[in-house]
Amino acid sequence: MSIRSILTIIFIIVAVFVGYFLVWPEYQKTIALQTEIENVKMQIDQNEEYFNQLKKIDSQLEQNKYKLDIANSVLPDEFYLPHLFYSLKKITIDNNLEFQDISASISSLEESDRINKIQVELRVAGSYSDFKEFLYHLEHSTRLFSVNSISINPSLVGDSFSLSLSLTTFYYK
């Protein structure tokens, strides 16, 4: 054998050795990094899609904000008894009734531990037609009212009546 063929064989062995022990591990790392980069790009795309969906939901909520405000007034998160009294008094006065007395008691709703029930006793005086209008406005108010009982007592003077109502309304704890 000539020296040239021995050098060629040694060169091939060194090239295989360098390729197998130095280049091949780096090639495997590069393949793994490329796979990881693809996974990260896919995750970024999924996150962008998720954030776009959240933006759409946010814009839909913003468009329907008035509906949410109505729902919050039907069953409010926070409750202030003076606000309830004021709204009932305003409905009473707006319907030409004489506001006489109001009282309230608060208790938990048996079916839910997150909702409280407010029992309101209201006494007003006025004509029967004004009282019908009062009930109509109470029924169509944004707050949820349930009329439990109505007591109508005629007055000795004129066509005026003394009216007692038992109402129930609710709020979140």
pLDDT at 4 over 90: no
Decide if 69 is inside a domain. no
Q: Mean pLDDT over residues 18-39, rounded?
A: 86
Q: Are residues 92 and 152 in the same domain?
A: yes
Residue pLDDT, tens place only, 106-123: 887 777 777 788 899 999
**Containing structural domain, residue 19:** 1-63
Indicate the pTM of the whole model: 0.55
Give the per-residue pLDDT at 42: 95
Residue type at position 136: Y
Please indicate, yes or no, if residue 2 is contained in any of the structural domains. Answer: yes
Q: Are residues 106 and 132 in the same domain?
A: yes
| CATH code of 111's domain | 3.30.70.60
- Give the helix ranges, DSSP H, for 64-152: 65-74, 81-94, 128-139
Determine the pLDDT at residue 172.
Answer: 75
- The pLDDT tens digits of the residues spanning 45-99 come to 999 999 999 999 888 888 887 777 766 666 666 677 888 888 889 999 999 898 8
Residues 85, 149, single domain; the answer is yes
Number of domains the chain contains = 2
DSSP structure class, residue 97: P
Tell me what the pLDDT averaged over the chain comes to. Answer: 84
Same domain, 58 and 89: no
116 and 91 together in one domain: yes
Same domain, 46 and 84: no
- Spell out the residues 6+ positions from residue 118 whose beta carbon is closer than 8 angstroms to its own: 79, 81, 84, 104, 105, 106, 168, 169, 170, 171
Task: Choose one of 42, 63, 84: the last residue of a domain.
Answer: 63
What is the per-residue pLDDT for 75? 62
Confidence class of residue 156 from pLDDT cuts 50, 70 and 90? low
Mean pLDDT of 138-161: 82
Looking at the structure, do residues 54 and 119 belong to the same domain, yes or no? no
Judgement on whether residues 86 and 46 belong to the same structural domain of the protein: no
